[in-house]
Structure 1
Amino acid sequence: MPTIKPFKAIRATPEKAAHVISRTYQDYGPEELEALLKFNPFSFLHILNPGYKYSHEITGEERFNLVRNRFLEFREENHLLQESVPAFYLYENKDPHHEYTGIIAAASVEDYQSNRIKKHEDTLSHKEVLFKEYLKIVGFNAEPVLLTYKDDDVIENITEQIKKSLPAYHFSTTDFNSHKIWTVTDPDLIASIQKIFANKEHLYIADGHHRSSSSSLLAQEMGEKHDSYNYFMSFLISESQLNIYEFNRLVKDLNGHSKESFLMQLDQYFRIQNRGLEIYKPSKKHHFSMYLDGDFYSLYLRKGLHRIKNALDDLDTQMLYDLVLQPILGIADLRNEGRIDYSYGKSDLLVMKSKIDQGEYAVGFGLFPATVEQMKSIADADLRMPPKSTFIRPKLPSGLIIYEFENE
């Protein structure tokens, strides 16, 4: 019986909303980031990148404190206002290729800890602790955890009824996205939505494992100060609306292998084809792309040589770990290993090639995306995907709806 509750969001004033919201900070290249910070004084990026004000790169606790200061300044200057009563928030986004609608609410840390909110992916421990400290100091969360559930006609009917009313926001952004938000404050409607989700056996984390685990750590430390620490902001969306993409892997060295000996080791489990400069992107499960020493390769799993005992064994990121990363490249602890990195994006294989050509990494692997069914099967079996196994959209803009922690 998962618990969700309304909360008093902090959000941009309607006339500034299109200027305030931003993509995730890591999505911006240096030139685009510089332009937005220079020419848009309302951008939430000024909060996330407080050192820009002083033309100085700031990290760690010093940065966290300045993020808090910029956030308070935005509130003092009335760029951001707080809701007067607790609410759920229905959010609709349309871009040239996708459309999705979901409910922004506060989800229970206790449900996360008791597995009523199911996980499917391992997290990186240093990121959990770092983001917990970030949340503790800045006092707010601007990016919700993406929770998903099996498509539900009753929820869909309720959202369609809400959409018939006038939205609190309706604006478009320069990336051709249309944004609408409806505030849901009617007590009877809130109770109905809560009852529907309380009758579900489970919710699933689609995206935001680090955010939810960090929120759990924060609740253990701060939960007695105020009940707001015992919840985290979530975006609840039906599973048919999810789009899952791959995270690729880059490794800094070959663990003492020569190129030739490394390829011979791979040959035990894979049919290998050198494709030269032809960019190969996997088109099905158990096919992998590899870039090594100036050439792309396709790696096809040899049938019958890898035993699949459960849903996790069938997952490509786990298979890559079991057959390549751990036994050949010597990467045992994915949560803490510094020799491996992860990347995603529309041109990711080209980015991977560039980083390897420049000597930052020795080898890179491209994967085929996991499916919603794989994700749920692994979560239902209480198993964990390796870190960074899925890159899932939708991703809500930062600063659209903000969850602030309170202190008594």
Structure 2
Amino acid sequence: MRIRAFQGLRPKPENAATVASLPYDVVNTEEARELASGNPHSFLRVVRAEIDLPAGTDPYDASVYAQAKQNLASLEADGVIERESEPCIYIYQQKMGDHVQRGVVAVCHIEDYENNLIKKHEKTRQAKEDDRTRLNATLRAHPGPVFLTYKNDAKITALMDAVTAGEPLSDFIAPDGVGHTVWRIPGGADFVKAFESVPVFYVADGHHRSASAARVGKELREANPNHTGNEDYNWFLNVIFPDNELKVLPYNRLVLNLNGKTNEEFLSELKNVVPVTEGNVDPSPDAIGKVSMYFDGKWYGLDLTGLAASDPISELDVSKLQDYILQPLLGIDDPRTSNDIEFIGGIRGTGELTKRVDKGDGPVAFSMYHVTCDQLMAIADADQIMPPKSTWFEPKLRSGLFVNTF
């Protein structure tokens, strides 16, 4: 795989904690406004610039993109962020509780995305892709990195070990308790060389960011009669993690009604589909093929391992749950569009499921075992698309620590 050092913008080390923000797509406008309150340096003012405009402003209005451009320019003019003195690669480490993951920050070529050497497993939503495309084009920058993964390579791990044994450029703990540490590598030639032996990358998180970066690059390529392929617009910002360091959380399900069935009818029909156990059931399943169900005030265990599957998609627990239970028993034909189901990120824990069911938001919730990186890669290798809301990667990459301009 091709990676390259880049001479982008980054916060001065003393400003990293106040600049770095959650990514744009994990907060809504009001949450972003509250998080940025009292902090003029928050990068949310770039990736969610509507928070600096009157309440009710359409987040896709032209004024939002103009405000984002102004805010990014102000951060640089005020000396909060600065242009790197030379092309660099970085190591970005995140620590959440006992979990530590380290990724290489570099730019990748949009042709590798277009030619499926950077593999995808999700569909994008047009409105979100259009939004990030317009933002990138207005800023002439990638304000948030794409989260890529690759099959662990010992040579790259050894290089990261050597770098992270040294003094970091910046190190802080965010308000959510996640630690963020950055090491700077001028040139990064050893990493560029090492990644040449990696056959493919996989998009773990950031399908809209990668799609929009490729679109902007293509638009600028087509508009440039002297295009060579080496221009900065051909390269987009990524953090690239080995698969063995990633933490994947499940995406759980809350069903809002029983499709006209009584509790007794639903439970009886369910037992005709899969083995169901009661008593001493862990709310968090411990293996592929196991699902925990909260229903009628208690936890049940479901065993999906005996259900037939014909390909990497249908082998997923979320697919089996959909194909054998949610659709035939509960009438949820398309989870992408159904109003009878909600998806709850695993970061909220199983307590969120019991709380929602107990207060009457829905009669039944399903706690899933997380999709593995091997499953994600197998689906991407087969050029298939993951079912909606299948994976939740945590911790999230902070925006604003690295900005690639073009």
2: CA distance, partners of 1:161 / 1:366: 40
1: CA distance, partners of 2:16 / 2:326: 45
User: What is the deviation of 1:55?
Assistant: 5.9
2: CA distance, partners of 1:137 / 1:173: 29
2:286 alignment counterpart: 283
Kept in 2: contact 1:250–1:340 (CA 8 A)? yes
Q: What TM-score, normalized by structure 1, do the two folds share?
A: 0.82
2:181 alignment counterpart: 180
Cα gap change, 1:112 to 1:328, in 2 (>3 Å)? farther
Cα deviation code 1:308-334 (max 9, x no counterpart): 333333211111222133334444444
Query: Structure 1 counterpart of 2:327, which letter?
Result: Q
1: CA distance, partners of 2:349 / 2:222: 44
Query: Structure 2 counterpart of 1:236, which letter?
Result: I
Cα gap change, 1:331 to 1:112, in 2 (>3 Å)? farther
Is 1:199 the counterpart of 2:197? The answer is yes
Cα gap change, 1:145 to 1:361, in 2 (>3 Å)? farther
How many pairs are equivalent? Answer: 398
Cα gap change, 1:71 to 1:334, in 2 (>3 Å)? farther
Cα gap change, 1:166 to 1:364, in 2 (>3 Å)? same
2: CA distance, partners of 1:246 / 1:370: 7
Kept in 2: contact 1:103–1:237 (CA 8 A)? yes
Kept in 2: contact 1:274–1:295 (CA 8 A)? no
2:113 alignment counterpart: 112
Cα deviation code 1:5-30 (max 9, x no counterpart): 22222211222112111233566799
2:142 alignment counterpart: 141
**Could you say what secondary structure the match of 1:196 adopts?**
helix
Residue identity (%) = 31
Query: Structure 1 counterpart of 2:284, which letter?
Result: K
1: CA distance, partners of 2:13 / 2:2: 30
Segment of structure 1 superposing worse, 235-244 or 225-234: 225-234
Q: What TM-score, normalized by structure 2, do the two folds share?
A: 0.82
Is 1:309 the counterpart of 2:310? The answer is yes
1:90 alignment counterpart: 91
1:326 alignment counterpart: 327
Segment of structure 1 superposing worse, 28-37 or 199-208: 28-37
Which structure 2 residues correspond to residues 29-40 of structure 1 after superposition, within 5 A?
Answer: 36-40=35-39
2:369 alignment counterpart: 368
Which consecutive unaligned segments of at least 5 residues does structure 1 have?
none
1: CA distance, partners of 2:388 / 2:218: 23
Cα deviation code 1:108-144 (max 9, x no counterpart): 2222232212233444555444444444445433332
2:16 alignment counterpart: 17
1: CA distance, partners of 2:242 / 2:304: 36
1: CA distance, partners of 2:298 / 2:73: 49
Cα gap change, 1:136 to 1:14, in 2 (>3 Å)? same
Cα gap change, 1:34 to 1:148, in 2 (>3 Å)? closer
Is 1:232 the counterpart of 2:236? The answer is yes
2:228 alignment counterpart: none
Cα gap change, 1:109 to 1:262, in 2 (>3 Å)? farther
Cα deviation code 1:325-349 (max 9, x no counterpart): 3334444444555554322144333
1: CA distance, partners of 2:294 / 2:54: 38
Kept in 1: contact 2:133–2:212 (CA 8 A)? yes
2: CA distance, partners of 1:179 / 1:393: 13
User: What is the deviation of 1:279?
Assistant: 7.8
Cα gap change, 1:49 to 1:376, in 2 (>3 Å)? closer
User: What is the deviation of 1:275?
Assistant: 6.9
2:274 to 266, 270, 274: 270
**Could you say what secondary structure the match of 1:15 adopts?**
helix
2:254 alignment counterpart: 250
User: What is the deviation of 1:247?
Assistant: 0.9
**Could you say what secondary structure the match of 2:45 adopts?**
helix
